[in-house]
Structure 1
Amino acid sequence: MASQPSFVQRIRWYATIYAIRLLVQLQKLILNNLATTKPNYIKTYAILPTIQNNIFLPPSWKKGDPPLPLLIDIHGGGFTIGAPAVDNRDNRLLASYGICVVSIGYRLAPAHKFPGPVHDVALLINAVLADADLPIDKTKVAIAGYSAGGNLALAAPQLDNLHTRIKGVVAYYPSTDVGRPLSKRLETAVAPAKRKDVLIRMSPMFRWAYLPGKKENLDVDADADVDADVDVDVDDPLLAPLKADRRTVCEKVYVLGCECDLLCTEAEEAAEAYAEADRMMGRSGPRVELRGGGRVGWREGNVTWEKLMGMEHGFNQRLVVVRGEEKKLWQRRMVEMHKNVAEWLFREVYV
């Protein structure tokens, strides 16, 4: 049987969530004002007026230039913490390749449980695509997200036929099967060399916060079994996009997983599922192994999978936890990762 979190445990989780949110607000203040990471401007949309969205333009762009390809970014944080500013460093780097990046937010759990954030993201995607003030080419649109944001980037385009307007999706170390118990994830997980996987402690809290439940019976330890009292179908493709109908997922898919990450297995499973569906529909091609630069993965038709060897969940946004040569390695891999993503976008999506 699955364990039920006690009242004291729930209080601890609430306290943890709001303590982390305070730190995120401090991070937001810094990153939104630091010269090297601040957005060009911040915008809200009437459909969700409390959500601030960060806009990044290429350094060389000026008014009157041709429209830019668009990348809509979705931040992570277990659907519970986080903000667009957390992705500022990544988005400033991606914008430097000649892309307009719009980093959108969404209302957070536990106040806004599944499927609320999925619908928030769909609403804001529609608002961005309808925004005549953005200097974008609406025929060249992609979406990307980190961790929980990767889940939302794969899920939200299933709504409102958005997958027909968004040609490509990049999912960085995504959760593609949110209902998967921690115990099952641990069976295939590769532990980081120097630290405990940050998600081992956090993922039960995130599940409890995001998944509606009759008794909040949500897998609070590694020995817990499948949830018995969750008020949601854990196979819902909006929750588990690896189980989505391939025809409702963006045509071009690039999934990246970190080797030392609880979510790596399900990220790879999603890529394999999409490639298999493409084969069944006769729209695939021969599998080509990624080579050069220490890359591990493959490309098959419209689907690309890459495993970032030795990297940990959220490594590009957790540089403060490492020092010395390890920090240099993480920084280098962050730059390489975004260079590869930008090249993929211009080769596969912005054509």
Structure 2
Amino acid sequence: MFIYENQNIAQQRTPDTVAPLIYTKPPITSRFSYFLKLWSLKIVERAGFAVIRTLKPAPKGIRPSFLKTYPCRPHLRNRVFIPQSRKPWEQLPAYLDLHAGGHALYNAQFDDEFCATLANKLNILVISIEYSRAPRSRFPGPTNDVVAISQAIIEDGDLPIDKSRIVLGGFNAGGNLALSAAQFPELKDKICGIVCWYPVTDFALSASAKQSSRPYRNKQDLDDFKDWAPLWKWAYIQPGHDIRDPLLSVRYAKAENLPRWIYMIGAQYDMLAEEARETIFDIARLDEQERKQGLDGFEKGTYRWRLVKDVRHAFANNVTSGRSKETEAIDRMRTEQMLNSVGEWLLKGPLGASRSDS
């Protein structure tokens, strides 16, 4: 079994002068409140999704081709999407998807529509990886799951996979896990690129600090979980751990420890946008002028950043409960636009080149 060791990678920070920040256990009253809130949310989420799937089963076109488990994690079922246009002999590049949920909610099934659409649109193999969730599995448990299952997928001779063209992609917590797992030596030379959709990258920032970075903070409140940062920390981080560990707060990861191709996507009305932007700015080593010019988007070599306008966090995950039809329409339009942009970038970049070029 692969076991995380917080040694070499954790000692490599950006910048080098950043000191460790040790996570301390919250007061017992706070922990009790977090426990009740999180498990209530889990129950509502699971029950709600079960009802929706019972009343409105998923269309055949977005269902996975099959489910697959691996001996390294036999309790986690991964969802495999083979494009309809694949020829029987064809070995395909692969996109390994990691779902959202603050490391604590949802499961791989929530990304079925995205995965099926991406597979058929690009004629690539898409596999939605399941990982264990907090608070039962705290860091580095989910990262270990992603590393182990990704290795198993890459070595799986039964899958029509081109081992030289593999990308990790993820939403929110999944984006964090993609940047975390890709730093491990076991994957570093096997993953060509990363696509991060509105990822959490810096657990060292407080909820108030993230809120104060929002250009829209004086308008209508558009962040669904704006005060929940302490809860996510409690659920995911072990007391005594360094919050600035680059495998946890990937904001502190060094570019040389990551794949050369990275596409970072933020949402205009999302308090995580600023930390995502600063993360890709640092990885791409932008100077002061480039940072000023690239606030809404830039492309420098193999790095790309886009701030998607008029949308909130999770716009691409079809999580539109309680939102207007106009908002849903904008979300779908922006998602389609970004799928086209991501697809073009993938096929010209990490999935269009051999491993030696990436």
Which residue matches 2:191? 166
Give distance in 2, aligned partners of 1:327 and 1:16: 23
TM-score (structure 2 length as normaliser): 0.83
Counterpart check, 1:180 vs 2:205: yes
DSSP-derived class of the 1:206 partner: helix
Alignment of 1:52-63 (within 5 A): 52-63=77-88
Name which of 57, 69, 74 aligns with 1:49: 74
Compute the displacement of 1:300 (Å). 0.7
Counterpart check, 1:87 vs 2:111: yes
Which residue matches 1:348? 349
Matched residue type, 2:94: L
Give distance in 2, aligned partners of 1:339 and 1:250: 22
Compute the displacement of 1:211 (Å). 1.1
Name which of 262, 271, 289 aligns with 1:262: 271
Give distance in 2, aligned partners of 1:31 and 1:37: 13
DSSP-derived class of the 2:156 partner: coil
Give distance in 1, aligned partners of 2:256 and 2:54: 40
Give distance in 1, aligned partners of 2:203 and 2:276: 11
Give distance in 2, aligned partners of 1:253 and 1:68: 20
Counterpart check, 1:99 vs 2:124: yes
Compute the displacement of 1:309 (Å). 1.2
Matched residue type, 2:99: H
**Structure 1 alignment gaps of length 5 or more:** 214-230, 280-285
The answer as to whether partners of 1:73 and 1:103 remain within 8 angstroms in 2 is yes
DSSP-derived class of the 1:106 partner: coil
DSSP-derived class of the 2:231 partner: helix
The answer as to whether partners of 1:73 and 1:101 remain within 8 angstroms in 2 is yes
Pairs aligned (count): 322
Counterpart check, 1:272 vs 2:272: no
The answer as to whether partners of 1:56 and 1:100 remain within 8 angstroms in 2 is yes
Give distance in 2, aligned partners of 1:264 and 1:236: 20
Which residue matches 1:299? 299
Name which of 244, 251, 264 aligns with 2:260: 251
Over the aligned positions, Cα root-mean-square deviation in angstroms equals 2.6
Going from structure 1 to structure 2, the CA distance change for 1:3 and 1:114 (only over 3 Å counts) comes to closer
Over residues 108-141 of structure 1, what are the superposed CA-to-partner deviations in whole Å (9 max), with x where a residue is unaligned? Answer: 1101111111111101110110111111111111
**Structure 2 alignment gaps of length 5 or more:** 1-23, 354-358
DSSP-derived class of the 1:39 partner: coil
Going from structure 1 to structure 2, the CA distance change for 1:19 and 1:323 (only over 3 Å counts) comes to closer
The answer as to whether partners of 1:32 and 1:38 remain within 8 angstroms in 2 is no
Name which of 200, 204, 208 aligns with 2:234: 208
Over residues 21-67 of structure 1, what are the superposed CA-to-partner deviations in whole Å (9 max), with x where a residue is unaligned? Answer: 34345567789843132111111111111111111111212422x21
The answer as to whether partners of 1:177 and 1:241 remain within 8 angstroms in 2 is yes
Over residues 167-225 of structure 1, what are the superposed CA-to-partner deviations in whole Å (9 max), with x where a residue is unaligned? Answer: 11000000011232111101102448655311214433222110112xxxxxxxxxxxx
Taking only the aligned residue pairs, the percentage that are identical comes to 29
Give distance in 1, aligned partners of 2:153 and 2:56: 22
Matched residue type, 2:167: A
Matched residue type, 2:327: E
Name which of 93, 103, 124 aligns with 1:69: 93
The answer as to whether partners of 1:31 and 1:88 remain within 8 angstroms in 2 is no
Matched residue type, 2:328: K
Matched residue type, 1:77: G
Which residue matches 2:175? 150
The answer as to whether partners of 2:203 and 2:244 remain within 8 angstroms in 1 is no
Compute the displacement of 1:16 (Å). 2.6
Matched residue type, 2:334: R
Give distance in 2, aligned partners of 1:208 and 1:26: 29
TM-score (structure 1 length as normaliser): 0.84
DSSP-derived class of the 2:226 partner: helix
Compute the displacement of 1:157 (Å). 1.2
DSSP-derived class of the 1:140 partner: strand
Give distance in 2, aligned partners of 1:99 and 1:203: 35
DSSP-derived class of the 1:319 partner: coil
Give distance in 2, aligned partners of 1:25 and 1:167: 36
